[in-house]
């Protein structure tokens, strides 16, 4: 593993640690896109009304997403795999989550095959170079009829189509590991870059999953978590999604291993 690659993502994870102790004390995490989390919880509760035995969160970071889901969906065994190992105080606080320092490409080496009922891949696939190997590893550790929950930025969102029309770099894409280029300044919603190297349209993600052995159960695009100063974009995006569900800023797909 290229150490610069590991260092980049470790640095990104550590950004959250400054305020994490207070969040842990309150047992209330600030998830970046609460709307996305709502849909994930809704689908999992529908599919597993009696709870889930084994859940794996790939690229789970500090465990915030998995912890938040577990407040609404009963999870017997929760695992999180990431390049970044959370500090001990986080692991102690979230002792119901087993944190593993590994990559998605190592899943079948460190975990039992055909074991997990659900694998979460939340805003991770856009960071992966070999998406084919990654999805193959996920299939190995998912049981038959197991569920994959995957989300990623939508290259073909209404906002990105507008930005491209005006000659700007689309949201969710990056040309540098240091800063954003080619965007109107007011659309730089975060200071640092995220490390996105793969970007999907809604159609491309559905085709990719079908070709790699998944049946599509549900698929959405979700409105971006726009700051208050961009309320107009929120309402415009909401309107466009009612006309064409592929136009939202983020893609969410629930797939079943077949």
The domain spanning residue 181 has which CATH number? 3.40.50.150
Mean pLDDT of the chain: 87
Cβ-Cβ contacts under 8 Å for 240 (sequence gap 6 or more): 158, 247, 248
Q: Are 244 and 154 in contact (CB under 8 A)?
A: no
Determine how many CB atoms are found less than 10 A away from the CB of residue 15.
11
Mean pLDDT of 81-89: 85
Is the Cα torsion angle 221, 227, 233, 235 positive or negative in sign? positive
- Mean pLDDT, rounded, for 14-19: 48
Per the structure, the count of domains in the chain is: 1
Distances (CA, A) of 122 to 22, 25, 146, 177, 244: 24, 25, 16, 21, 23
% of the chain beyond a pLDDT of 90: 63
What does the pLDDT look like over 18-68, one tens digit per residue? 545 555 555 444 455 678 899 999 999 999 999 999 999 999 988 888 988
Q: Which neighbouring-strand residues pair with 118?
A: 55, 147
Q: How far apart are CA 113 and CA 177, in angstroms?
A: 35
Give the mean pLDDT of 183-188: 69
pLDDT tier at 89 (50, 70, 90 boundaries)?
confident
Burial of 95 (0-12, 13-18, 19+ CB in 10 A): exposed
Q: How far apart are CA 40 and CA 193, in angstroms?
A: 25
User: Structural domain of residue 26, as residue ranges?
Assistant: 3-257
> What phi-psi label fits residue 167: left (phi over 0), alpha (psi between -120 and 50 degrees) or beta?
left
Confidence tier at 87 by pLDDT (50, 70, 90): confident
What integer is the mean pLDDT of 60-84?
A: 91
Question: Which residues does 247 contact at the CB level (< 8 Å), separation at least 6?
Answer: 154, 156, 157, 158, 161, 221, 237, 240, 241
219/205 Cα distance (integer angstroms)? 10
Distance of CA 125 to the CA centre of its chain: 8
Residues 178, 193: Cα–Cα separation, whole Å: 6
pLDDT by residue (tens digit) across 105-161? 999 999 999 999 999 999 999 999 999 999 999 999 999 999 999 999 999 999 999
Residue 15 has pLDDT above 50, yes or no: no
């Amino acid at each position: 593993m290229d150490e610069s690659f590991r260092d980049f993502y470790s640095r990104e994870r550590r950004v959250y640690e400054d305020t994490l102790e207070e969040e842990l004390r309150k047992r209330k995490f600030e998830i970046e896109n609460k709307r996305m989390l709502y849909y994930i919880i809704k689908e999992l509760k529908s599919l597993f009304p009696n709870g889930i035995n084994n859940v794996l969160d790939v690229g789970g970071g500090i465990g915030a997403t998995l912890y938040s889901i577990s407040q609404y969906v009963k999870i017997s065994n929760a695992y999180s795999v990431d390049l970044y190992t959370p500090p001990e105080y986080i692991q102690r606080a979230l002792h119901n989550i087993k944190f593993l320092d590994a990559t998605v490409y190592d899943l079948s080496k460190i975990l039992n095959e055909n074991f997990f009922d659900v694998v979460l891949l939340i805003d991770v696939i856009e960071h992966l170079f070999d998406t084919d190997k990654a999805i193959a590893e996920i299939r190995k550790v998912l049981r038959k009829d197991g569920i994959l929950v995957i989300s990623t930025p939508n290259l073909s969102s209404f906002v990105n189509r507008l930005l491209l029309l005006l000659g700007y770099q689309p949201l969710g894409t990056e040309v540098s590991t240091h800063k954003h280029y080619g965007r109107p300044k007011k659309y730089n919603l975060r200071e640092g870059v995220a490390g996105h190297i793969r970007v999907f349209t809604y159609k491309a993600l559905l085709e990719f999953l079908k070709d790699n052995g998944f049946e599509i159960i549900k698929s959405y695009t979700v409105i971006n978590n726009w700051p208050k100063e961009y309320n107009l974009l929120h309402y415009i995006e909401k309107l466009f999604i009612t006309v064409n569900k592929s136009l939202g800023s983020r893609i969410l797909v629930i797939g079943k291993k077949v």
